[in-house]
Every structure is written in structure tokens, then in C-alpha cells.
């Protein structure tokens, strides 16, 4: 186990890197849990919301809807500047962005022109608001079915007594999932810089010309060298994987390991760890000097996490950014994690999407390993 011990010795000498990113991950997880807890009590009650409305229809029905919602919430009509509104939503200056399309209220079968609600991921206030909107529109539809015009139906609504809507919280609700779903979203920022930095440094050391010459004349076969290197990679990767899950279990007060969707969460995080190992393998082979590792890993990990829904939820990213991010594995990790956070029991079609996201990550891992092996072979031929 000479090669394995050599890898572990380099890991121990750079343990401060792992500790640093572990502390960052733990700190962010604690802050996320506190933010979740502060919103948990108001999550399933009829609260007054700050709603920013983009009214593209500007007809009688849309105005009636805004007047109706104004009885329960603080409603402001905004200009159609979605990027600014999404930024305000991200910083919790508003609770919800409600978009009313031009076709709203013009289609008799009520299947077109549906409103679009954008909320902070992990929040359930949109469910409450959607019920209020549906209730109001159903009443208008019923009046029209009885022979009233739309204007008369709206007038009838004005004379009605306000009704209250509440949602009961039970053991099957999504609130149990909320506490750890945002923490799981941050896992790539723990894995990528920690694993890529450590393993990149190890590979950079073993790629040195003098080291390669010494290993080539050693009594240890090339096959065994590769096996021991792979073992070292997996030991470090699995160690960080278990460490991250332990942090989430502690911060969620034991609820994470009792989640009904735990096998899916474990599969998604484990595959993300394997993807990170393949990235570390590529970076370690790519660099020629150990000092170059951090120069590549730090901006690479930050950029990857920003555009793939780790730091900024996918729902707040622009469509162009998401189109680019779809070619990256972290995007599919984040998307799968968000899907799991939206359900307590997965329907068949959602299960298919979850396994698709995990499968795409595995395909990326295989492709990255293939490219790295090809690069290694090309360099050997050059020598």
C-alpha cells in the first residue's frame, strides 16, 4: 500500500483545506437552517404577503383580481422588469412575483392565460396565493356559466363577504423536507473546492518528472499503482460525503435520515461526489505545477456554483444562464435536489426526471474520465 499511503500523507499535510471548506459549508448550513426555522410557522397560514404584480393584460378581470387580492395582501403593480423583481425576491424584499399574461380572462375555457407565480424556492406561500386566485376565478366562471356577463360577475364578487383560506399542516407536508433541502443544495461548494484542491495537488505531485521516473522503476506494477490511487480517491471522497451528510443530519435535528426520499438524496449526493472526483482527476492531470491548482479551482468552483443553482436558486436564474448551465453536471444535481424538495412521495413521472438528472451526472463523469485518460495518453506519447 505504498502508493495509497503516499496519497494519504499528502492529504494529511493539506488537511487545512478540507477544514476550511468544511467550516464554510457548516456555517452556511446553520444559517440556512435558522432562516428556514424562522419561516416555518408562517408557512402554512393565511399571512399577508408582499406581492409584486406585472399586469400585462390590464383588463377588467385582471384589475378585479388585483382588487380581490388587495383585501388580503399588500399588492403593488410593477413595470415589466423581471430581472429587477427577481433580485428583490432573492433578497426577500418581496414575497411573490405575480405575472398576469395578455390572454388572461379572454379565453372562455379558462385553460389559457394562466397567471405565473414566482416565489423563493422552499417557500409554500405560493400554494396559499394560488388557492385564493383559483377560488376567485372559479366564482367568476360559475357566474358566467349561469348567464351573467363578465362585468356582472365581477360586480357580484364585490358584494360578497371575504372568505378566509387556510392550509392544515400534517405529517406528510413538505415542511419536513424544507429544513434540509437548501442545505443539500450547498453540497457542491463543499465537494468541488475541497476535493479538487486536495486531489489536484496530489496528482500534480505524482505527475512530476522525477516522481514518474522513480515510480516507473519501482517494484510496484502500474496496475497496482492505479488501484491504490483509485482507493485513495474513493476513501477521501466517501469520507467527505459521509461528513457532509452527518452535518446535515445534526443541523436538521435527526430528520434527514428519516426522510421518505432519503435513498434519492443519498444517490444524488453520492453521484455528485463521484462527478467531483472525475473533475479533480481532470484538473490534476491538466496542471503541471501544484501552485496552479488553487488558481484554477477557486474561480472554477465559484463560477460553477453561481450559474448552476447552488448559490442562486435555479428559479431565479435567467433562461439564457440555465441554457448554458444544462451542459454542466452541477445544474442537474441542483435540479434533482429541487425536485426532491418539492415532493414527499414521488409520482412516477417525477421519479423519471430524478433518475434522468442522476443519470446525466453519471454520463458527464464517464465523459470527463474518458477525456482525462485521452489527455494522459497524448502526453505519454509526446514524451
Confidence of residue 170 (pLDDT cuts 50, 70, 90): very low
User: CB of 104 within 8 A of CB of 57?
Assistant: yes
Q: Is 0.75 surpassed by the pTM of this model?
A: no
Domain shared by 310 and 198, yes or no: yes
Q: How many domains does one find in the chain?
A: 2
Beta bridge partners of 116: 99
Predicted pLDDT of residue 174: 44
Average pLDDT over every residue of 54-75: 89
Domain shared by 107 and 12, yes or no: no
> Strands, E, within the chain: which ranges?
50-55, 74-77, 96-100, 116-119
- The arrangement of strands across the sheet holding 116-119 comes to 74-77, 50-55, 96-100, 116-119
Average pLDDT over every residue of 174-200: 79
Mean pLDDT in the chain? Answer: 81
What is the residue range of 89's domain?
Answer: 45-167
CATH code for the domain in which residue 98 is found: 3.40.190
Domain shared by 196 and 327, yes or no: yes
Domain shared by 261 and 280, yes or no: yes
Domain boundary among 147, 167, 187: 167
| Of 45-54, 99-108, 302-311, highest mean pLDDT | 302-311
Amino acid at each position: 500500500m505504498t502508493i495509497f499511503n503516499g496519497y494519504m500523507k499528502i492529504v494529511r499535510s493539506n488537511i487545512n483545506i478540507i477544514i476550511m471548506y468544511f467550516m464554510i459549508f457548516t456555517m452556511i448550513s446553520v444559517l440556512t437552517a435558522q432562516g428556514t426555522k424562522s419561516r416555518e410557522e408562517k408557512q402554512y397560514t393565511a399571512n399577508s404577503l408582499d406581492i409584486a404584480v406585472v399586469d400585462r393584460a390590464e383588463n377588467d378581470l385582471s384589475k378585479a383580481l388585483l382588487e380581490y387580492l388587495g383585501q388580503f395582501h399588500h399588492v403593488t403593480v410593477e413595470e415589466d422588469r423581471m430581472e429587477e423583481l427577481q433580485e428583490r425576491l432573492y433578497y426577500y424584499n418581496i414575497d411573490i412575483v405575480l405575472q398576469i399574461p395578455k390572454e388572461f380572462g379572454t379565453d372562455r375555457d379558462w385553460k389559457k392565460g394562466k397567471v405565473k407565480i414566482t416565489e423563493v424556492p422552499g417557500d409554500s406561500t405560493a400554494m396559499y396565493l394560488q388557492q385564493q386566485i383559483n377560488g376567485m376565478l372559479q366564482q367568476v366562471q360559475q357566474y358566467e356559466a349561469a348567464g351573467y356577463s363578465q362585468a356582472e360577475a365581477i360586480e357580484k364578487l364585490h358584494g360578497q363577504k371575504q372568505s378566509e383560506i387556510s392550509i392544515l399542516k400534517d405529517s406528510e407536508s413538505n415542511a419536513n423536507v424544507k429544513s434540509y433541502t437548501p442545505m443539500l443544495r450547498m453540497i457542491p461548494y463543499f465537494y468541488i473546492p475541497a476535493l479538487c484542491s486536495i486531489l489536484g495537488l496530489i496528482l500534480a505531485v505524482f505527475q512530476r518528472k522525477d516522481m514518474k521516473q522513480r515510480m516507473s522503476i519501482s517494484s510496484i506494477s502500474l496496475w497496482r499503482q492505479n488501484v491504490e490511487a483509485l482507493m485513495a480517491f474513493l476513501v477521501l471522497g466517501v469520507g467527505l460525503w459521509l461528513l457532509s451528510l452527518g452535518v446535515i443530519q445534526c443541523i436538521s435535528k435527526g430528520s434527514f435520515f428519516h426522510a421518505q426520499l432519503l435513498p434519492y438524496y443519498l444517490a444524488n449526493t453520492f453521484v455528485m461526489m463521484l462527478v467531483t472526483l472525475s473533475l479533480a482527476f481532470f484538473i490534476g492531470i491538466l496542471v503541471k505545477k501544484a501552485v496552479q491548482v488553487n488558481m484554477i479551482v477557486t474561480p472554477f468552483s465559484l463560477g460553477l456554483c453561481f450559474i448552476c443553482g447552488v448559490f442562486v436558486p435555479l428559479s431565479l436564474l435567467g433562461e439564457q444562464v440555465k441554457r448554458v448551465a444544462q451542459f454542466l453536471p452541477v445544474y442537474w444535481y441542483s435540479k434533482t435536489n429541487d425536485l426532491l424538495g418539492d415532493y414527499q412521495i414521488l409520482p412516477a413521472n417525477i421519479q423519471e426526471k430524478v433518475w434522468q438528472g442522476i443519470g446525466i451526472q453519471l454520463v458527464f463523469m464517464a465523459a470527463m474520465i474518458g477525456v482525462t485518460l485521452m489527455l494522459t495518453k497524448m502526453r505519454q506519447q509526446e514524451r
